[in-house]
Amino acid sequence: MFSYRHGFHAGNHADVLKHATVVSLLDYMARKDKAYWYIDTHAGAGAYSLIEGFAAKREEFHNGIGRIWGRDDAPPMIQAYLDAVGQMNPDGALQYYPGSPYLAWQRLREQDRMRLFELHPSEIDILTANFEEIGRRAVISRADGFEAIRSVLPPPPRRALTLIDPSFEDKQDYRRTIDMLNEALRRFPNGVYAVWYPIVSRSESTQFPAQLRALGCGSWLHTTLSISAPPSDGFGLYGSGLFIINPPFTLQDELESALPWLVDALGTDDGAHYTLDAFIP
């Protein structure tokens, strides 16, 4: 939806969970010398200012990255994420926030490639400007990621991490995500797919995890982080989930260490909690 701008939400609690996991997945992909592709179906602007523009209006980052910035007791998975954010803020003041494309770019090796899709007419212009110096290692396309992913699967090196995180403001995004994953797994069953979704008081959101499990993929890991009990008025984002298909064997242990710490650091009431389950045949 063209009304949605991720800048309003940059650095919030959902971004902390999503981007800490993305950093972990990227670092795992780089353990092998062989090239991999990073594919982002809904790339957004790629990087955000926290001191002006959309993020400064709502200041949602204060209940996310702002609550853990400068902590010296973070688990290794969270510390790696904080270090990545720190690369955009070398003087130590939290002023800028990297989106998932920027986090991937930080870790991109000479042999690796990025494929970024974004449909929003303003976001794609900012995304292109943010990565104008990256050269041939990144291809940025104004396209509907739900459809365009077909053009890049399977990737030539047969290794890829694909992040799928539409806004889900349109309830059809849930169905479109499932349809896209069915097609993606048919074309490239061995890829790593990370699906982010919001936890809100909406039937599509509550039914979504079961639909993901029913895809029949070989292995998966599912985690959620809620910073509060559901709001009494039924509105608002109080948590988020990640469903990772073909997860690295290291990720579950990393999350088991990181999630209790995040609940303590980001929770706003006694309803804060996490879940973590996996299917590894």
pLDDT at 137: 83
Q: Which two tokens stand for residue 117?
A: 């899709």
CA distance 119 to 56: 24
CATH code of the domain covering residue 80: 3.40.50.150
Closest CA to 217 of 252, 254, 186, 174: 186
d(CA 150, CA 221): 24
* Residue with the two structure tokens 């919001």: 198
The whole-angstrom separation of Cα 278 and Cα 260 is 17
Q: Two tokens at 281?
A: 């045949």
Residue at 224 is within a domain: no
> Is 92 among the domain residues?
yes
Residue 244 lies in a domain: no
- Joined together, the tokens standing for residue 266 give 């980001």
Crossing angle, helix 13-29 and helix 251-266, to 10 degrees? Answer: 160
Whether residue 119 lies inside any domain: the answer is yes
Residue owning tokens 């039914």: 207
pLDDT of residue 121: 87
Residue closest to 226 by CA, chosen among 8, 17, 6, 10:
17
Pair of tokens at residue 108: 């991109």
Q: What is the pLDDT of residue 281?
A: 83
**Please, where are the H alpha helices in 136-250?**
145-148, 172-187, 203-213
Peptide bond into 198 cis (omega under 30): no
| pLDDT the model gives residue 1 | 45
Return d(Cα 168, Cα 233) in angstroms, integer.
20
Tell me which residues of the chain have a pLDDT lower than 50: 1-3
Question: Does residue 144 lie within any of the structural domains?
Answer: yes
Residue 40 a catalytic site member: no
Number of domains in the chain: 1
Could you say which of 165, 170, 173, 277 is catalytic? 165
Domain holding 114, by residue range, is 6-216
Contact 49, 55 (CB under 8 A): yes
Taking only the tens place, the pLDDT of each residue in 230-262 is 988 777 889 999 999 999 999 999 999 999 999
Q: Which residues, in sequence order, are CB contacts of 219 under 8 Å at separation 6+?
A: 245, 246, 247, 278, 279, 280, 281
**For residue 229, is it within any domain?**
no
CA-based end-to-end distance of the chain? 38
β-bridge mates for residue 224, sequence order: 241, 275
Distance CA 115, CA 51 (A): 29
**Is 138 part of a structural domain of the chain?**
yes
Q: Is residue 79 part of a domain?
A: yes
